[in-house]
Structure 1
Amino acid sequence: MNSKSTVENSLCRSDDLNVELTLGVSPSRHVSSPPSSSSASSSLLPPPPPTLNAAAAVASSSSASASPRAGGGRTRRNPTQGPRSGKSDSIKPIFPWSTDRRATVHSLSHLLSHDLKEVFGDAQCKRCEARRIIRYDLESKFGEVACRIAATRHLMHDRAPAEWMNPTFPDCDACGQPNCMRPVVDGKKRNINWLFMLLGQTLGYCTLEQLKYFCKHTKNHRTGAKDRVLYLTYLGLCKQLDPNGPFDL
């Protein structure tokens, strides 16, 4: 009985082998290999970062949106603009010849009609620091300045002459030092004694910033070198005293 089963099993295996050979199938069984570790790990990697061109484009778009205006240029300031916001053109007059407007004096006719014929101011010696009051006759001193401008304006070429840039000062009575009594210029520009220095032709003692202050509040162009701004200050003050005189800018 056992031998018969063995024979049958052998015949079955032989028949299976013949069938595989007939169909062209290899008698050995092929087992599919698992995927390689490199391909499996590559499928788990994160996506690559964006390229440099894409990052640059993002940075360019963000910087363009942050720019306040096209071109990036600054707004040009008007050199003849008035006082900044919060400051008024009106002030309390500190001298009898001053108006309630910054850097502005009354006209000559107004002052004479109010019997104001003399202008005064403080001066201090550069050497011994002695102080005294200097007085000028209004009509005669203004006549000197006006005649000088009328006679030599065509030679000035819109620039203050050397005599205005480096003025001559009175001598000191205390120590005898010549050319040393300088006008006292207040630290607050609104308190500067403009008419006093005009009549003494000592406006050149002012700093460039002080002269620019005058031109700013009298609506005159205030850019340029000191000789240019000083020239405008002289003519501006003369125009205030004599609006009909030859002092147009």
Structure 2
Amino acid sequence: MGRSENCKRKFPEREDEFLTLKLSSNSPPIVSESPPPAEHTFLPPSLPFTTAAAEQRVSPSISTTMETLVSQAPPQIPFQFPLTHSLCALPPPFMPVSPTPPSVSNNNLISKPRRNSSRNTSSKKTREGKGETVPISFPWATDRRAMVRDLKYLLQRQIFTITGNVQCKKCEREYEMGLDLQSKFAEIENFIAENKSSMHDRAPSVWMYPVLPNCRYCHEENSVKPVLAEKKRSINWLFLLLGQMLGCCTLEHLKYFCKHTDNHRTGAKDRVLYLTYLGLCKQLDPKDLFER
């Protein structure tokens, strides 16, 4: 009796295991019949070629896959992967990434108008449509704005009376009044000579609030006021001076006179009125007395 038989008798339950080990040592290796794992095919989701081309097996090599896909793309449409694909993690060379533009505030986008640098120089020039000369309204007036003839010229032309229109504040009658040139101007000259030192470049109250003449018709006292022209260029300046009624003018009228006679026209009315009185007296008789 051999040793193997003794083993079988002693260990009958291991007979099948023994036969299996014997067969596995003498038989060739068993190859599994299960099919090999399928190779993964790269097929982008949105490619512009046909379904038949997509069903073909593609080599796992990335370079071969790229050449195949590019060759199958239509020639009219340039091939490009979707930007979300893993192969397009970086932007292609034909799509450069522009830097973020700097933030621009809305204030810089609004164009601001430029200031007129020649405003100060143009203010001295006569506005468009207004010439330097004006029509002569009275025989004692000149063709310049706010300028009157001198006393010598008027006396040589035998102009002794200066007339102007007035209106009564009570009866509202309007008529023409005449003032003697020499006597009225002499009164103003004497008043300035006596009170100029105490005026301090300000018009006194008798000039600011003049005593008006009496009405010729109703005989009302302090009731006749001068009729001022609508246009400043037609104001009867000499008549207002001789009647000492320049205080009836508004501040705009007085500034107009000072503007066209090169006088300082800023300040209160009493200052501008003082300059108007002295300016008209200097036009009539250029004496040192009428200097500022």
TM range (shorter): 0.7 to 0.9
How far apart are the structure 1 equivalents of 2:156 and 2:145? 22
Q: Secondary structure at the match of 2:191?
A: helix
How far apart are the structure 2 equivalents of 1:111 and 1:180? 30
How far apart are the structure 2 equivalents of 1:93 and 1:148? 30
User: Equivalent of 2:214, from 163, 166, 171?
Assistant: 171
Partner of 2:71: none
Check if 1:205 corresponds to 2:248.
yes
User: Equivalent of 1:96, from 124, 139, 142?
Assistant: 139
How far apart are the structure 1 equivalents of 2:196 and 2:140? 26
Matches within 5 A, 1:30-45: 40=84
How far apart are the structure 2 equivalents of 1:137 and 1:245? 24
Matches within 5 A, 1:77-226: 81=124, 83-226=126-269
Q: Secondary structure at the match of 2:148?
A: coil
Q: Secondary structure at the match of 1:112?
A: helix
**How many residue pairs were aligned?**
217
Check if 1:10 corresponds to 2:30.
yes
Matches within 5 A, 1:14-25: none
How far apart are the structure 2 equivalents of 1:12 and 1:248? 133
Sort the Cα spacing of 1:78 and 1:86 in 2 relative to 1 into closer, same or farther, 3 A: closer
Structure 1: state its 5+ residue gaps: 1-6, 14-27, 32-38
**Which is bigger in relative contact order (C-alpha 8 A, separation at least 6)?**
1
User: Equivalent of 1:231, from 246, 249, 274?
Assistant: 274
Report the aligned-residue RMSD: 3.6
| Structure 1 residue 191: Cα displacement | 1.0
| Structure 1 residue 129: Cα displacement | 0.5
Structure 2: state its 5+ residue gaps: 1-26, 41-82, 90-97
How far apart are the structure 2 equivalents of 1:93 and 1:67? 43
Q: Secondary structure at the match of 2:190?
A: helix
Deviates more, 1:96-105 or 1:194-203: 96-105
Partner of 2:114: 68
| Structure 1 residue 97: Cα displacement | 0.8
Which string of whole-angstrom CA distances, capped at 9 and with x for unpartnered residues, describes residues 190-227 of structure 1? 11110001001000101111111111111212122211
Paired amino acid for 1:182: K
How far apart are the structure 1 equivalents of 2:202 and 2:172? 32
Identity of paired residues, percent?
Answer: 47
Sort the Cα spacing of 1:225 and 1:92 in 2 relative to 1 into closer, same or farther, 3 A: same
